[in-house]
């Protein structure tokens, strides 16, 4: 659909949040605690932080929670009974304040969760989620969205994209049918477009590498010594995967109490040595360099080849979170220029 432009004042955005809450929707927005910013439910706009470049954790949990029940089971006299997770209990959710890069991250997740099996838990959660993004007015040295064909005011993936313009009000670009539905139900809060030049209010994110050059090089780099060189200081902590908006590795765990229990799907990381450890003791990714290679090639070789999407949105979270300062974009520049 054609993008429709409106204006929403800051005070009206607060009223829109109140209306969404009154309609029974969960509103997730960035909340700051000490130095970390997570997406959490808010009741009023005052609880939302605006002091972030990228939130510490991405909004992917809206559709792919850290820990998610898949089924319940009970071992009774007549054997084990299973009860699947009804997705009808998922609440209608609005994610407010995600960045344009984060919105495109759901392209990667959707491709992964619909590759050979249609994942109903993910798909139903996503179908019930509306994204109100906020463009980036500033960036830091870790951001590289423009190197992976994104941008600080990219509308792709959002339902409504807000850009702070003159006087602190927001240009509201209504991008999708979901966004239009939300804007119609809260139409009293949206005003006529003031005609602001959006580009003037966006961060200048430099392009660090050419992704069209990088992907074919990555596809031919499996045996390269670069993986050992790059990964020497990686301690395999998994922080990069846990903050990443596109990482989709998970584990299944059964939690039991007496004769009852539940099976849950939990985030995992291909950076962990245990991730590929077989019961026999054999580990096909025995060393950290093999795990680092897997993480990078999954995003820049295997996903483009199999799913036609690059599995990285250039948010820089992995590099900000890394305790030993592994800088992904520096490594990608080296790979593209190799
Ligand atoms: S790999 Fe790093 S930069 Fe890329 S999407 Fe994940 S966290 Fe963001
Ligand atoms: S956060 Fe850094 S040290 Fe930890 S697994 Fe990722 S690259 Fe390695």
Please check the confidence at residue 166 and state whether its pLDDT lies above 90. Answer: no
What percent of the chain has pLDDT above 90? Answer: 94
Query: Closest Cα to atom 6, ligand 1: which residue?
Result: 244
- Residue 257: strand pairing partners: 260
Q: What's the rounded mean pLDDT across residues 271-276?
A: 93
pLDDT at 30: 98
Q: Is 116 exposed, middle or buried (0-12, 13-18, 19+ CB in 10 A)?
A: exposed
pLDDT for residue 60 is more than 90: yes
Number of the ligand 1 atom closest to the C-alpha atom of 329: 3
- Residue ID of nearest Cα to ligand 1 atom 4: 312
84 burial level (CB within 10 Å; 0-12, 13-18, 19+) = exposed
Nearest ligand for residue 208 CA = 1
Any residues with Cβ below 6 Å from ligand 2, and which? 234-240, 271, 321-324, 326
Mean pLDDT of 119-146: 97
Give the chain's mean pLDDT.
Answer: 96
> Quick one: CA dihedral 221, 222, 224, 228, positive or negative?
positive
- Confidence band for 52, pLDDT divided at 50, 70 and 90: very high
Q: Is the CB of residue 147 below 6 angstroms from any atom belonging to ligand 1? A: no
Tell me if 179 CB under 6 Å of ligand 1.
no
Atom of ligand 2 nearest to the CA of 271: 5
Query: How many domains does the structure of the chain reveal?
Result: 1
Report the residue among 108, 267, 318 best suited for mutation to probe ligand 1: largest number of ligand atoms under 8 A from its CB.
318
Residue 126 domain boundaries? 4-337
Q: How far is the CA of 242 from the centre of ligand 1 (A)?
A: 10
* Amino acid 111: pLDDT: 97
Task: Please say if the pLDDT value at position 259 is more than 90.
Answer: yes
Provide the 10 A C-beta neighbour count for residue 1. 9
Other C-beta atoms within 10 Å of 109: how many?
21
Q: What is the Å distance from ligand 2's center to 8 Cα? A: 40
State the distance from the centre of ligand 1 to the C-alpha of 331, rounded, in angstroms: 12
Q: Cα separations (Å) of 186 from 9, 132, 157?
A: 13, 13, 21
Q: How many CB atoms lie within 10 A of CB 260?
A: 13
- Kindly state if the Cβ of 246 falls inside 6 Å of ligand 1: yes
Report which of residues 157 and 87 the model is more confident about. Answer: 157
Residue 338 has what pLDDT? 82
* pLDDT attached to residue 160: 98
The answer to whether the CB of 95 falls within 8 A of the CB of 129 is: yes
Within 10 Å of residue 24's Cβ, how many Cβ atoms? 8
CA distance 313 to 305: 17
pLDDT in tens, 194-236: 899 999 999 999 999 999 999 999 999 999 999 999 999 999 9
Residue 248 has pLDDT above 90, yes or no: yes
Question: What is the spatial distance between Cα 200 and Cα 165, in angstroms, rounded to a whole number?
Answer: 8
323 C-alpha to ligand 2 centroid (Å): 7
297, 222 Cβ separation under 8 angstroms: yes
Whole-number Å distance between alpha carbons of 1 and 53: 29
β-pair partners for 79? 76
Q: Average pLDDT in the 42-48 region?
A: 97
pLDDT in the model for residue 168: 78
Pocket test residue of 313, 321, 329, 331 for ligand 1, highest count of atoms within 8 A of CB: 313
> pLDDT band at 185, cuts 50/70/90?
very high
Strand (E) or helix (H) holding 214:
helix 211-219
Q: Is the dihedral of CA 49, 184, 63, 43 positive or negative?
A: positive
Answer yes or no: is the C-beta of 332 below 6 A from any ligand 1 atom.
no
- Separation CA 287–CA 85 (nearest Å): 37
Q: How far is the CA of 76 from the centre of ligand 2 (A)?
A: 44
Task: Give the integer Cα–Cα distance in Å for 332 and 111.
Answer: 23
């Amino acid at each position: 659909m054609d993008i429709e432009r409106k204006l929403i004042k800051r005070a009206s955005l607060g009223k829109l949040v109140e209306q969404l809450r009154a309609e029974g929707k969960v509103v997730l927005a960035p909340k700051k605690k000490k130095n970390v910013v997570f997406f959490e439910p808010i009741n009023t706009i005052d609880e939302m932080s605006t002091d972030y470049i990228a939130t510490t954790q991405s909004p992917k949990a809206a559709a792919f929670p850290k820990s998610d029940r898949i089924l319940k089971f009970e071992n009774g006299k007549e054997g084990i009974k299973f009860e699947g997770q009804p997705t009808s209990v998922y609440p209608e959710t609005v994610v407010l304040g995600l960045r344009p890069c984060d919105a495109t991250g759901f392209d990667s997740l959707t491709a992964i969760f619909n590759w050979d099996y249609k994942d109903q838990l993910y798909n139903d959660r996503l179908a019930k989620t509306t994204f109100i993004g906020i463009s980036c007015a500033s960036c830091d040295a870790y951001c590289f969205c423009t190197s992976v064909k994104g941008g600080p005011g990219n509308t792709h993936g959002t339902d409504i994209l807000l850009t702070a313009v003159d006087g602190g009000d927001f240009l509201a670009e209504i991008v999708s049918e979901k966004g239009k539905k939300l804007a119609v139900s809260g139409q009293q809060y949206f005003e006529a477009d003031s005609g602001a030049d959006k580009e003037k209010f966006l961060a200048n994110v430099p392009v660090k590498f050419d992704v069209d050059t990088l992907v074919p090089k990555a596809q031919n780099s499996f045996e390269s010594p670069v993986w050992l060189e790059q990964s020497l200081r990686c301690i395999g902590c998994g922080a990069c995967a846990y903050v990443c908006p596109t990482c989709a590795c998970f584990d299944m765990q059964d939690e039991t109490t007496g004769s009852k229990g539940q099976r849950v799907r939990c985030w995992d990381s291909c950076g962990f040595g245990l991730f590929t450890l077989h019961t026999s003791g054999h580990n096909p990714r025995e060393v950290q360099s093999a795990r680092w290679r897997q993480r990078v090639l999954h995003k820049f070789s295997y996903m483009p080849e199999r799913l036609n999407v690059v599995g990285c949105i250039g948010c820089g979270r992995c590099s900000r979170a890394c305790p030993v300062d592994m800088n992904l974009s520096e490594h990608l520049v080296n790979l593209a220029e190799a």
